[in-house]
Amino acid sequence: MKYYLIAGERSGDFHAAHLMEALKRQDAAASFRCWGGDMMQAAGGELVHHYKDLSVMGFVEAATSVLKFRKYLKECEQDLINYQPDVLILIDYAGFNLRVAKFAKALGIRVFYYISPKLWAWNTGRVEQVKARVDKMFVILPFEEEFYQKHGYKVDYSGNPTADAVAEFVPTADFYERNQLDPARPIIAVLPGSRKQEIEEMLHEMVAALPPFQEYQFIVAGVDNLDRAYYAHFERNGIRFLFNQTFDLLAHARAALVTSGTATLETALFGVPQVVCYRTSVVSYAIGKLVIRVPFISLVNLIAGREVVKELIQGDFTSRNLVDELKKIFEDPATQQRIAEGYADVHAKLGQQQAADKTAELMVGYLRAGV
């Protein structure tokens, strides 16, 4: 069968690539055309556009990209007409993907959605769009199944791919030697995100928390979709950058500063105590405060249903507060216990279910059955 996939950011590229590999195990004749990234291309997808062309952050920032998005939307619609896939598989990225879903549905193309957009956070009205435009939704967070059920829409929860990826990861034995790190000094991992816009907002403040922790190594996780030279203006004494080694970094870290997103869940699943950080433009934050309907922004706290890790958002995101929270992680038994117990709850709720393989099995089964 012919599969057309769309992912709009790095984490979507990662999960879509694993899904594509699983689909090939279910469907020997599978062929893929995609909007995504290097990992989807490596999995056998014919890449139309890279996600770095599509990625924006914040309400205002998205609004200023309207003309660019319209151009890409028209291009995507024409490409669907030309390719005529058996199914369109959308990965998160609601603003673009729900518009494509509407067009594909009108063409009679089956529409599947893998990794639900976060409608439960700020736009429950879009559930009606999902019900009208998406034939099957495959969610990766256990509370999403109940959320959609309340709106009269049946979805499939087949596990969490991040939990699978962390469980399957084998740390590099010579990690310290390979990266010329000091094995006697513990590591504080810094995960500022994968998009220039969020890194600009986050990284200067994060590395400013270094001075009180000279006995630690501050290691920043860089990503290869950005030029390595871009990171140079964040460099200062005591800061190291490692590229495309995030899981290895977390496997060896004592604590972490993490920009809100999938990385917060990855960090929790590695058992690394963390401080969750987020800052956007003043206007975007003001709009967000009006529309966001959940009490937390990190996946860790949302899945646990309580504050497990500290979230420093907007005005609270300062180097002084980062220092204070790191000291609690290292020195306060109550903080350590709260995080450890919360992480155990998150593990239990997610389970271990080989999400990509189970989702692929369901998808191919539905397609062959015409459901």
Of residues 150 and 352, which shows the higher confidence score? 150
Q: What pLDDT is stored for residue 49 in this prediction?
A: 93
Q: What pLDDT is stored for residue 290 in this prediction?
A: 43
Least confident of 40-44, 236-240, 287-291, 308-312: 287-291
Of residues 352 and 32, which shows the higher confidence score? 32
Q: What stretches of the chain adopt beta strand conformation (E)?
A: 2-7, 31-36, 45-50, 87-91, 110-114, 136-139, 156-157, 187-191, 217-222, 239-243, 253-259, 274-278, 310-313
The CA–CA distances, whole Å, from 245 to 172, 219, 224, 287, 371 equal 10, 11, 10, 35, 41
DSSP string, 282-311: HHHHHHHHHH--SS-SSHHHHHHTS--SEE
Q: What mean pLDDT is predicted for residues 128-149? A: 93
Under the banding of pLDDT at 50, 70 and 90, the label for residue 352 is confident
Give the Cα separation of 336 and 331 in Å (integer).
8
Give the Cα separation of 311 and 290 in Å (integer).
18
Q: What mean pLDDT is predicted for residues 327-348? A: 97
34-71 burial string, b = 16+ CB within 10 Å, else e? bbbbbbbbebebebbbbbbebbbbbbbeeeeeeeebee
Least confident of 99-103, 136-140, 148-152, 292-296: 292-296
The CA–CA distances, whole Å, from 113 to 17, 189, 190 equal 15, 32, 31
126, 300 contact by CB (below 8 A):
no
Percent of the chain at pLDDT > 70 equals: 92
Q: What pLDDT is stored for residue 117 in this prediction?
A: 86
Give the Cα separation of 96 and 6 in Å (integer).
9
pLDDT above 70 for 284: no
Percent of the chain at pLDDT > 90 equals: 70
Percent helix, strand, coil in the chain (nearest 5)? 55, 20, 30
Q: Which residues contact 15 (CB under 8 A, 6 or more apart)?
A: 7, 91, 114, 115, 140, 161, 162, 356
Q: Tokens 């952050």 belong to which residue?
A: 57
**Rounded mean pLDDT of the chain?**
90
193, 187 contact by CB (below 8 A):
no
Q: What is the pLDDT of residues 187-233, one digit of tens each?
A: 999 999 888 878 888 898 999 998 999 999 999 999 877 878 888 77
Which tokens belong to 276?
A: 């969750």
List domains and CATH numbers for the chain: 2-159+353-369 (3.40.50.2000), 167-350 (3.40.50.2000)
Least confident of 79-83, 139-143, 278-282, 284-288: 284-288
pLDDT above 80 for 183: yes
Q: What pLDDT is stored for residue 283 in this prediction?
A: 52
Q: What is the pLDDT of residues 54-64, one digit of tens each?
A: 765 444 445 55
188, 326 contact by CB (below 8 A):
yes
Beta bridge partners of residue 88, listed in sequence order = 4, 111
pTM confidence score: 0.82
Q: What is the pLDDT of residues 70-114, one digit of tens each?
A: 889 999 999 999 999 999 999 988 889 999 999 999 999 999 999
Q: Tokens 């469980």 belong to which residue?
A: 167
